[in-house]
Structure 1
């Protein structure tokens, strides 16, 4: 996205004068957040926001961090975008009601995003964030890993830290997933991000990266999709499906049983 397109989007974003449903506006002069829908009429602005407004040059590192956690937001307020998007690198919007992250397109310098405990689904696609290195989406509502992860890769190609724990699409013992399902999920995600160093609560090892590329190397899937007789696989690749469905159909296609004696370090 070039500067002209971003400016056009930004102008459109600022031009909306009618209050958004459920969006909390910011009145910096009164140090409050004002909700246009719910019974919560006023909530104090987090202290770090006030500090960054009152002392913009006092602490350069602190001025790049913005926390909006536990504010019952339905989206990132326009006033926040206008005031902070140019210089914020660390943004925490966890524990809110946010389902749309389009406003992040204006946070060009964002390197860390914490969005845990929001009702974000696989239908929510992040805008281009080439500088983003850390992304936490724990305990959200992401139920389909594919093709959502591919879109995430396009938006955030330089991720080094990614955590999706607690989502239906991230099977684990905590949400009823088997070890095999967890293993396949982990290797698939690793295969999509060459720079990923840490996934969920564990470091990405060299063995895992090697195995992920062997199992999920992109040209292999492209050849299968283009080959005659793979209509079902083509449908699978181009639609959102549960991880169970994805790995089961791939296993069926390959004609292989689940590995019993693999020695992968997880």
Structure 2
């Protein structure tokens, strides 16, 4: 086996965790830089307290947290940095600090025993906020229905609130009219601010 084969094996990525069921007393598990997505399934690991899943392909946060709550009851340290499910500037420029705060609140609502989340210690204030508002911090993705046409870059050009006849430049109809305006001084907006001694 040459050096090229050795190097490619060293950087191969895990895609299955079937063998972990034999390690029921496992306490720490590092699964960074792999290809794990929303189909990630861990066996029950009752003693696992540290789990890092940084830089994977996880997008469905709620599904992952519900699964972890069932199979890792002793979990205290969790890191999900580098996944779409963890909204921060490292993953998307569209995300900001408020998105990340909502994410932390929702994670702590689902996993209240966490002491560290993404290399940051969980504060008492975060824990209290998760109790009160955590359930409402879930990010809801719109579901695409089969009967609705998929959005395309040109879709906004097709929609118009005007009747189809008025879309053509040649069929434009406008209205021009004249009206009389009557001024009633005592109801004028400007007169509200003028005192009697200024008249």
**TM-score range with shorter-chain normalisation?**
0.5 to 0.7
Contact 1:161 1:197 in 2 (8 A): yes
The structure having more radius of gyration, on CA atoms, is 2
RMSD over aligned CA atoms reads 2.6
Determine the structure 1 residue equivalent to 2:63.
Answer: 147
Q: Which has the higher contact order (CA 8 A, sep 6+)?
A: 2
Residue 138 (str. 1) matches residue 25 (str. 2):
no
Residue 102 (str. 1) matches residue 18 (str. 2):
yes
Determine the structure 1 residue equivalent to 2:39.
Answer: 123
Contact 1:131 1:158 in 2 (8 A): yes
Of 98, 106, 109, 1:180 maps to 98
1:219-238 correspondence runs (5 A): none
1:196-235 correspondence runs (5 A): 196-217=114-135
Q: Distance in 1 between matches of 2:85 and 2:12?
A: 20
Contact 1:133 1:161 in 2 (8 A): yes
Determine the structure 2 residue equivalent to 1:72.
Answer: 9
Change (3 A) 1:105 1:244: same
List gaps (5 residues or longer) in structure 2.
143-199
Higher strand proportion (structure 1 or 2): 1
Name the TM-score, length of structure 1 as normaliser. Answer: 0.47
Indicate the SS of the match to 2:129: helix
Pairs aligned (count): 138
Contact 1:181 1:244 in 2 (8 A): no
